[in-house]
Structure 1
Amino acid sequence: MRHAIIRSFDVLVWLMAALLAIGGLVAGGMAMGQGQGLAGLMIIVGGILYAIIFAGMLFLVVGIYENTKRTAEAVERMGGR
């Protein structure tokens, strides 16, 4: 059950990162459409960078979980010898 929750969290992180990036692109495109070219470009770059940082931090949490699980399994194998 725990693994299913972690896997669904992984999918949720990908979904949220994609939505954040798309939101940045849409908001930047809207700003560019109103004649704010440089501001629109900055919104696009900022939105994509925010999505990357957001997803990276949450994937770090998932990675810590995976490493902890592998370490616990290795310690159990070593203890059985």
Structure 2
Amino acid sequence: MRDFFIRSLEMLINVIVVLGAIIVVITAVVVSLGGPMGGQAMGPMGGGGPLAGLLVLIGGGIYLILVGGFMYLGLGIYQNTKRTAEAIEKLEAR
């Protein structure tokens, strides 16, 4: 039962990372086109443009790498601990 939940968590993390990447790309495109309603919602200063879209893409990508990396790191620690315990049990059986 424990392995089911760990595998489910791993699949959930995969889905979250992929959705996060899609959201970052869509947000960068929207910002680069001037935001909602072509930038009119932000007043005369506008907001957005290609540089802002690039910054959103870079910032969102870095954030996604950090958050996804930490989630995968937690799973990796669990899997390494499990393998170490199995190896120790195997050595004790000798």
Category of TM-score, reference length = shorter chain: over 0.9
- TM-score, with structure 2 as normaliser: 0.81
Q: Which residue of 1 aligns with 2:7?
A: 7
The percentage of counterpart residues that share the same residue type is: 41
Larger Rg: 2
Q: Which residue of 2 aligns with 1:43?
A: 56
Q: How much has 1:73 moved relative to structure 2?
A: 0.5
Residues 1-81 of structure 1 aligned to structure 2 (within 5 Å): 1-34=1-34, 36-81=49-94
Q: How much has 1:47 moved relative to structure 2?
A: 1.2
- Considering fraction of residues, name the structure with more helix: 1
RMSD: 1.0
- TM-score, with structure 1 as normaliser: 0.93
Q: Deviations over 1:36-71 (max 9, x none)?
A: 110111101111221111111011000001111111
Structure 1: which 5+ runs fail to align? none
